[in-house]
Chain A
Amino acid sequence: MKTLRMIALAGLFAAPLSMADVVVIAHPDGPDNLSESDVRDLYLNRSKAATPFEIAEGSEVRAEFHEWITGRSNSQLQSFWAEQTFTGEGQPPAEVSDSARMVDEVAATPNSVGYADPADVDDSVSVILKR
């Protein structure tokens, strides 16, 4: 895993314009056919159509995902979820520790979505959106 990340990191330095890669994944039985805005709805508590998972703060993959899909920084997300929690609108998605765990979690949870480094993705999940 570490080696993979080192390679990814090396790639980052080799091509400074490319970002850490991230893809949106889902449980193999669905959901599928989600647009970027469908995924944004799931991660910003506007839709309960599927269960989203987050990678814990500090992850490069998480930052890339949010830059791509929600356009929110970590502190904006913190404020947003504090407001949602205390107004009874909902709770933030459950967190996993890293991209590899995300793949396991989504594979094990029916009707869930997540995001991961493509290098961690295997056929236990389906990739539903690429940047």
Chain B
Amino acid sequence: MKQLRTTKTRLAVCLLVSAGVTGAHAQEERLDRLESQLERLQQDMRDSRDTDFRINGFMSTGYARASNNAGYAGVTEESEIRPLTLFAVQGTFDLSDQTSATFQLLSRGEHEARDNWETQLEWGYLSHEMDNGLRVRAGKMRMPLFMYSDSLDLGYAQPFARAPSAVYDQVTLSSYTGLDATYDLDVFGQTIRTQVFGGHSKEDRMVGQTNTSAELELRNITGAVMSWTNYTWTFRGVAARADTNFAPFGTQDDDGEFFGLGVEYEQGNVMAVSEVTRRNVDGVFPDRDGAYITLGYRFDSVMPYATYAWVETQDDDKRPTGTLSTQNEKRDDYSLGVRWDAMPGIALKADWTHSRGFGDTSGALSGNAMSFASGQGNRFDHTNIYTLKLDAAF
């Protein structure tokens, strides 16, 4: 655009200079013609900004290590960079003003149930917005269980270096294949965004703290999300259910329920976010409650934050002894961290998380599993995890 304008000025100057040679009137006509051609060209350039295809990407990388081998979030004394590293590209095709197709390909350095650097279709859906504002999507999408579900892999959109595992590990299957519909309801002059979804999800998961994996399958997922925001406060509620299948726990089409409440506050330099979630599954599959609160204060591009998170399984009596008892989980996690927006599109984060308060559980930590299962108690009663992370979006 800038280029064009310069050209336009130059053309005008050239033409005006030569205007003395030929008739000024003819030149003026020519100038007018050129001007209108340029206008059209500029309009074309403006239109081409609304292109039919857009591509964006994001990546994360980082380093984490722990003060001992308790294995919180898989982090030990010998941790490496790969688990925190991921790269994604996302493309959106506009088929019409109201219909678009979106895909996201994501490659992770390490994942419990996938090959290293295996690229997966994380999202792939068609979206259609009807004239009455109802948006319907079909395909592979993110299960909208948490406040940061949509940006689970997009570290750049999260304030913290680690999404609190007390809540975010509640349901480890992040995507589903199915349908959703979103509508902005007008209730007493307030806009309540309502989303309903349904579908199916399946992925291999680790069995407890062992080295074997098995298929975790959620069938007939149905759920609803309601959210309200006035840009300072955001409130969100979610309820969902699914027929849950996980052979190692003998879970076969057992009723699984999920409930979550979230609140976010953002005003001036202060931000706060908190979520409370509950997972209930029939049988020995653990019922688990989790919650966290994060407070942050922005000093220009630097935001220190503090998080307290709590998790506790509610049906420990169903898993009194042996390997299953290592699924009993109780923990208090305290995090201090800082996010620095180093330059547009790039954030650096540092985080220290201290975890303790396992009570009479193993804390669901891999380093405690063996001794706990054999009745000898925990090897570790606390752990510290240090994380450095770089998140970018482009």
Contact = CB atoms under 8 A, between A and B. Distances in A.
B363 to A, nearest CB: 32
Interface stretch (B19-27, B41-49, B63-71, B205-213): B41-49
A86 B347 CA distance: 17
Given A75-B341, A94-B49, A40 B231 contact: yes
B350 interface: no
Interface in B199-243: 231-232
Contact of A86 (B1, B46, B154, B266): B154
B298 A71 contact: no
Contacts of A82: 58, 151, 154, 156-157, 345, 393
Q: How large is the interface on B (under 10, 10 to 19, 20 to 34, 35 or more residues)?
A: 35 or more
Contacts of B151: 82-83, 86-87
B120 to A, nearest CB: 15
B231 A86 contact: no
Nearest to B393: A82
Given A70-B231, A71-B231, A83 B46 contact: no
B294 to A, nearest CB: 14
Interface string B146-159: 00001100101100
Contacts of B191: 46
Contacts of A71: 231-232, 267-268
Contacts of B341: 75, 78
Contact of B344 (A78, A80, A85, A87): A78
Interface of A: 40, 44, 46, 57, 70-71, 73-76, 78-80, 82-83, 85-88, 91, 94, 97, 101, 105, 108-109
Given A82-B154, A108-B46, 19 more contacts: A46-B191, A70-B231, A71-B268, A76-B298, A78-B393, A80-B157, A83-B150, A83-B157, A85-B90, A86-B90, A86-B104, A86-B157, A88-B92, A88-B102, A88-B127, A91-B54, A94-B49, A97-B2, A105-B46
10 contacts: A46-B191, A70-B231, A71-B268, A74-B344, A75-B341, A78-B344, A85-B90, A86-B56, A86-B150, A88-B100
